[in-house]
Structure 1
Amino acid sequence: KLVNKEVDLDLTKIDGNAYSIMGYFSREARRQGWEQHEIDLVLEESQKGDYNHLVAAILLYCESPGEASEDFKSSEYENNEE
């Protein structure tokens, strides 16, 4: 992990496109006290791969009720195409 923080965030409640996910993460992280450089680090990492990498990278920093972020590793998504 690049940042030792988590955002209380449930990605299942938003539109699944990449820009929506990044925007929602950014807004919630900022609202929950993250510094802008911390948000930028996560977003930069999330954009280093395909859509599945983006989702997996964001989920590493999410604490979602009912779903543990460790259930979503980027390796699980690498061979799946949507």
Structure 2
Amino acid sequence: YDKTYQLFDMNGSLLTGIEGKLEDLPVGLTIDEIDSEILFPLLLLAPEEVCIYTDDSDEGLVQTIRNVFEERLSFFPYRMSKLFFSGNP
């Protein structure tokens, strides 16, 4: 996270076009309650591990992701994203 979010797989490839239906949401959630660009795809993918590259771990959506994914979440300094995702800003 550096003022915007992007999702990548473990190979460093940008994830785009993740589509799902409202019925794919966990029970009790509505689309109005979650971020449709980042949190919704993460909920659909249900990854075993989530890595966030940020220098702002107090940002709102980062906190929400932390609350949802708890022990599956790892934080790294934003500068490390440039090493892992070569060619990306």
Q: TM-score, normalised by structure 1?
A: 0.25
Question: Which protein is richer in strand relative to its size?
Answer: 2
Q: Which has the higher helix share?
A: 1
Q: Larger relative contact order (C-alpha < 8 A, sep ≥ 6)?
A: 1
Instruction: Return the index of the structure with the highest Cα Rg.
Output: 2
